[in-house]
Structure 1
């Protein structure tokens, strides 16, 4: 089985300029995802899709192969799926066989190569077509519609203890795996039979702000256990 990892990383970021190459625990943010992918025993090749020369340079330094993403696929309105389709087509055109794609977002640096291997193993063992990583949730959710508040995932009139609720999960954005046909036919990272890969809350940490960087730095420095939940 030929398994590739793709890490999309565009140069522009409205919320936090230069986010993908900002230092985190003495390494550029994107370096952590490259290292994670290269540590995974089941991943054969690691690609970074980018429109940015500095991201490309850093990614090469950490051992990734580069896919030059067109600028029209790297603006604020371009979807991750459009970048993934371009990357898969570009890789396939070089003659590389692809059985599975591991899609990693560089805003989720606190995963490990072992997490990736375990996710791949689960997809194969359960014979699914795609997989997403999740973190357990025990939150009581509400929504407001036309000024009326409604409980979503529980009945507030018969409140259960958190430990008695059915298991629920939050998509954490750390690991996605899919067979190429899922992306091609459905224009989506998920489809067919889908598997969930639970991860710890620490391993699920996403970076979108300066505060997120500070928390991730603390987690990495303390070497928090981030194996699957």
Structure 2
């Protein structure tokens, strides 16, 4: 059985209420639920939350609920621990029914740049290649190459965040944003993972250890999880480009 698990909490501080913020006339968290609901392969959708508003939205998609423990509902709590907790609860429930989990589809309530087609592509990647641990959406953001990253040092000036030598001979490097080739970022829209990734987080690759070690890309563009209000127009643009209309126009 393939199960989707969306996580989202009530107490966002950087962008209060972001998970239910209106995007094209729908709550933000409706979009990952829509994608999971329309997937050809997902059998059941679960939501781990402490937020009544997210719960209300998820009920419209027939989601089953996992109560998010208070210690996992703080800004310090790691997403990997919330996913692992949710997975264990889903595994327990399915075990009681005599069922097992083939794959987990992991979603964030604030990541709307996802479609059923992208989810299904990730599922098909894992079904066709047993050597990979996960398949995740990636977007190419060459403008954010680590070569361009800076930090403010004790002298108050900007210094390379990563030593230039990491990328080769500094004398051969240039400022062109494409000079390091495609720079892929896991954009958090979806992670399709094997169960063992959640059972053995300690073996996973930083920074998202739920992805395991061998991670296949699901190529996307413009993907992101919304953490700031200025990202809203970007996500609305992405959704419109993928044929999703404003709810008021339907």
TM-score interval (norm. to shorter): 0.7 to 0.9
Contact residue 103 and residue 192 of structure 2 kept, 8 A: yes
State how far apart, in whole Å, the 2-side matches of 1:154 and 1:39 are.
45
State how far apart, in whole Å, the 1-side matches of 2:214 and 2:35 are.
26
Q: Do structure 1's residue 108 and structure 2's residue 111 form an aligned pair?
A: yes
Contact residue 177 and residue 189 of structure 1 kept, 8 A: no
Question: In the TM superposition, what is the alpha-carbon distance from 1:123 to its structure 2 partner?
Answer: 2.2
2:172 to 154, 158, 167: 158
Partner-residue secondary structure (3-state), 1:94: helix
Question: In the TM superposition, what is the alpha-carbon distance from 1:134 to its structure 2 partner?
Answer: 1.1
Q: Do structure 1's residue 24 and structure 2's residue 23 form an aligned pair?
A: yes
Q: How do 1:1-20 and structure 2 match up within 5 A? A: 2-20=1-19
Q: Do structure 1's residue 193 and structure 2's residue 220 form an aligned pair?
A: no
Partner-residue secondary structure (3-state), 2:186: strand
State how far apart, in whole Å, the 2-side matches of 1:50 and 1:195 are.
28
Note closer, same or farther for the CA distance 1:162–1:211 as it changes in structure 2 (3 Å cut).
closer
Corresponding residue for 2:139?
135
**Could you state the TM-score of these two structures normalised by the residue count of structure 1?**
0.85
138-147 or 67-76, which deviates more? 138-147
Question: In the TM superposition, what is the alpha-carbon distance from 1:165 to its structure 2 partner?
Answer: 4.4
Q: How do 1:1-229 and structure 2 match up within 5 A? A: 2-95=1-94, 96-127=99-130, 128-139=132-143, 140=145, 141-143=147-149, 149=160, 150-151=163-164, 152-153=166-167, 155-159=169-173, 165-187=180-202, 188-201=209-222, 204-220=223-239, 223-225=240-242
Question: In the TM superposition, what is the alpha-carbon distance from 1:105 to its structure 2 partner?
Answer: 1.3
State how far apart, in whole Å, the 1-side matches of 2:101 and 2:51 are.
25
**Could you state the TM-score of these two structures normalised by the residue count of structure 2?**
0.79
Question: In the TM superposition, what is the alpha-carbon distance from 1:183 to its structure 2 partner?
Answer: 1.2
Contact residue 24 and residue 213 of structure 1 kept, 8 A: yes
Could you report, residue by residue, the CA deviation over 1:97-124 in whole angstroms, capped at 9, with x for unpaired residues?
A: 2111111112221211001101111122
39-48 or 141-150, which deviates more? 141-150
Structure 2: gaps of 5 or more residues: 203-208, 244-250
State how far apart, in whole Å, the 2-side matches of 1:215 and 1:196 are.
22
Q: How many matched pairs?
A: 221
Note closer, same or farther for the CA distance 1:55–1:225 as it changes in structure 2 (3 Å cut).
closer
